[in-house]
Structure 1
Amino acid sequence: MHEKLIEQFNLRSRLRFNVDSGHIWLGENRMLMFHAQAFGALRKELFDTLGAKRAKGLLLRMGFASGRHDAELAGKLSNQLNAYDAFQIGPELHAFEGLVKPTILDAKIDWERGTFYGEVLWENSWEAESHIQHFGVGDDVACWSLVGYASGYSSYFLKRFIVFREVECTGKGDPRCLIVGKPAEDWKFDDDYLDYFRPDNVECKLRQLQEDVRQLKATLSAQQGPGGQLVGNSPAFRGAFDLVNKAAKSPISVLLLGETGAGKEMFARWLHDHSERADQPFVAINCAAIPHDLIESELFGVQKGAYTGAQHSRPGRFERANGGTLFLDEVGDLSPAAQVKLLRVLQTGEIERLGDDQTRKVNVRLVAATNVNLQQAIAEGRFRADLYYRLATYPVTIPPLRERKADIPLLATALVDKIAPTYHKKIEGITDRAMQALLAHDWPGNVRELENLIERGVLLAEPGGQIELEHLFAAGAPGNQPGAEIGREGFVADIVESNRGRLYEALLDEGFDLDAHERRLVELAVRRANGNLTHAARLLGITRRQLAYRLKQDANAAE
């Protein structure tokens, strides 16, 4: 049964080693390979420093989380199976990961009612072996992380809290390790066993509270504001944010510089929302999106009859932003005429609607943004130097996403939380492999591109599931190298060779005709070479004379 399940679900092909990138993958989950002795030493240190009770709880909860992850993988592998067969993948995964060899002795499961009873025999438990090595045979069971795994795995499948307990353990001198699992309410605990599944006691909560306060202080400025999200804690992000933060309460004009999609409008909104004008309008206009012959009327307004079709007077963006903030995006694309009028407004605080000779006072805090090199535009005569010096009183450069990749996990998580409700979905985050692909990407479109990818991922992900690699990149993920996998004999093999091996095995299982396949392969090579026998022979790895001989033999056989 063990080998049959491993082959049925291609578990070996799902475990991949990529030495070049330093990754080990099991499906979408990044795995780590530790020396058992080193992990055992860490386990011993937990007991020595935290005490037995807290160490047991920590190991159990760690195993619980691992079991849930493997249950998700098992669910994806078993779409065509009945529930019980799918459930049995768990013990195989546990063995496949080198933790223990489980054998299900008894399993009574009613999936509709959610009832469960299970007994599992364990052989070669790494945890029992490690415990004996460091502490000797004792009076208590030892396989806490493994028990947590079984509980987490079963709880995920049953959709209710299943508790396993080790009733026999080689770590306390028993001839075997044996665990029993039931729903939590079916146990009649006369001790504090269930406490191991809960977060630690008051002391632990106090430490967590202190850690929460520390993190809050460190990331307070990166939290979501009323007008949008500014998320990040990388040095590049912090440098830009600190400058914006210092300018927020002042009336100074701010020029935001940076690539398209880097988040300049988000910074502008944050500036407004944390200024003394926060209760007044925030008005934004993309200067590059408005035709040059309309930009002046959009900015300064138009008086009735100013031109054919001007049936009504209407205020421009400056008047609508009066008392608040006006955000001029892509200001480097303004026409020369609009630049002149904008300069006058900044100098006098007055505007004139198109076709009107009446001046109107406006009180506007100006925030401008551009991805254009304004110094170069000045040198080429495309931008006025005097306007530049008015706008660039306080320049802030927003770093591109490729220079703040440490912020990608924070940004991606925030975007999932923002986007998922609009699709009426609950998404449990992003898989390790998908996150690794996000970190490997070059991000020419910056945060805007990330938001688009996350939205695609939310749309394609299963409700209640995670965003996987295939959900993100339509054209293939960056740096997605297949690596190597485990062969039948247990050795790491090149994935291409492994795939070839599986192909050969499938051909043999179907009833292989060597002569027929050789003829088809020769025909394919000749067809691909457009009849050029020298080229076809090279494709087949033989000489032209050998190929000609085979073709002659095939022709004779056909007659």
Structure 2
Amino acid sequence: MKTHRDELEFLDRGGRPTLADMLDRMTFRPSRGSIELNGARMVLSRATFGADLQDELIRRFGEHEAMVLLLRLGYRNGREDAEFIRRAWPNLDIGDAFTAGTRIHMVTGTVRVETLHNDFDFKNNRFSGDFLWHDSVEAMEYARRHGRATKPVCWAQTGYAAGYASVFFSKLILYKEVSCAAMGDKSCRVVGKTVDDWGKDDPFVRIFLDEVLVTRPETSPRMRKEGVAQGSKAAGILEDMIVAPVHRELEQLARAGLSTLITGPDGAGCFKAAAWLHTRRFPSGQLHRVHGASDTLRR
């Protein structure tokens, strides 16, 4: 990999793994069509892919739902990267593993992070941080396509930062983008605190707790607005998607006429599966839900 001469010294800055460490562990296997970072599969793609995804989500579901989805995907990605760093470099000091999030964000070409303030105490769940994001791929692509934004647009990166940091604390860490290059600012700026320090009544905290972190099956605003006929059709499609992994087993149970107990964690789709099986077996009956217990079928 080619690196500009004026960047070489920068590669060894910070804790371990440094950018140089990460680049040294990156392997390109052209015969397999794969790129790996310390054994983990990576993908090199054009920056426009993320911008296309954001545009399509906004077009199909609206700006708010698009933001929620990208915050959620970023949050999951951040948590996965934090766990990856801890597995791949198991002897790291916890502080180095924590700050490695800024470096892995840079080595993937997402953004260059400048730390203004970073104060953390893992034992006492205390954290506050203030960072500048230079050349954010989300902000630059948005501005290139749409001109100046009216609000911050680095949704996936903000979610990523929250997900990565939260792995190291027993409290949720949330970041807010308080300025954004897409709005005409020189760089993006993000501030991170524990959810308690932000306050449970903070509007962004409520979005994160009520919408970003939920695991229950959801339908989009577009589906909800299409009227009774379209809504029923969309709900049927969603139900089919939820039931698909266990469709064969449900079909066998329906044909056998066996009594069935469906169990699983909240949000796993148990009630949808029970409703599907109930419709097949008892077209004229009613399905009753027992709250706090497994979903059951009753005539």
TM normalised by structure 2 equals: 0.67
**Following the alignment from structure 1 to structure 2, what is the Cα–Cα distance between the partners of residues 193 and 65?**
17
Show CA shifts across 1:411-442 (max 9, x none): xxxxxxxxxxxxxxxxxxxxxxxxxxxxxxxx
What's 2:79 paired with? 68
Residue of structure 2 in register with 1:204 after alignment: 220
Distance 1:2 1:166, change over 3 A: farther
Task: Output the CA distance in 2 between the equivalents of 1:20 and 1:81.
Answer: 32
CA contact (8 A) 1:44 1:134 kept: no
Q: Which of these residues, 98, 116, 141, is aligned with residue 130 of structure 1? A: 141
Look up the equivalent residue of 1:213 and give its one-letter code: E
CA RMSD of aligned residues (A): 3.3
Identity across the alignment (%): 28
User: How has the CA–CA distance of structure 1 residues 134 and 216 changed in structure 2, closer, same or farther, with 3 Å as cutoff?
Assistant: closer
Residue 43 of structure 1 pairs with residue 54 of structure 2: yes
Q: Secondary structure of 2:220's match?
A: helix
Provide the rounded CA distance (Å) in 1 between the counterparts of 2:158 and 2:61: 20
Higher relative contact order (CA 8 A, sep 6+): 2
Q: Please show how residues 1-12 of structure 1 align to structure 2 within 5 Å.
A: 2-4=11-13, 5=16, 10-12=21-23
Is the Cα contact below 8 Å between 1:168 and 1:177 reproduced in 2?
A: yes
Q: Deviations over 1:248-273 (max 9, x none)?
A: 98xxxxxxxxxxxxxxxxxxxxxxxx
Q: Structure 1 length normalisation: TM-score?
A: 0.38
**1:26 aligns to 2:37 (yes or no):** yes
CA apart distance, 1:222: 4.2
| C-alpha deviation, 1:210, in angstroms | 4.6
For 2:66 and 2:83, the matched residues in 1 are separated by 26
Runs (5+) with no aligned partner, structure 2: 1-9, 225-233, 260-299
Picking from 80, 88, 102, the partner of 2:113 is 102
Q: 2:207 aligns with which of 181, 195, 200?
A: 195
Cα 1:37–1:154 shift into 2, 3 Å:
same
Q: Give the whole-Å Cα distance in 1 for the aligned partners of 2:26 and 2:38.
A: 7
Deviation of the 1:96 alpha carbon: 0.5
Task: For residue 167 of structure 2, give the secondary structure of its aligned residue in structure 1.
Answer: helix
Deviations 1:139-172 (Å, cap 9, x if unpaired)? Answer: 2011111111110000011132100011111111
Shift of 1:87: 1.1
Q: Could you tell me whether the CA contact under 8 Å between 2:38 and 2:88 is conserved in 1?
A: no
**Which ranges in structure 1 are unaligned for 5 or more consecutive residues?**
225-241, 250-273, 279-559
2:100 to 89, 100, 119: 89
- CA separation of 1:90 and 1:211: change in aligned 2, threshold 3 A: farther
Moved over 3 A (4+): 4-9, 198-212, 215-224
CA distance in 1, matches of 2:87, 2:163: 17
User: What is the number of equivalent residue pairs in this alignment?
Assistant: 233
Contact residue 12 and residue 20 of structure 2 kept, 8 A: no
- AA aligned opposite 1:195: I
Q: Which has the larger radius of gyration?
A: 1
Deviation at 1:6, TM superposition (A): 5.0
**Candidates 115, 133, 144, aligned match of 2:126:** 115
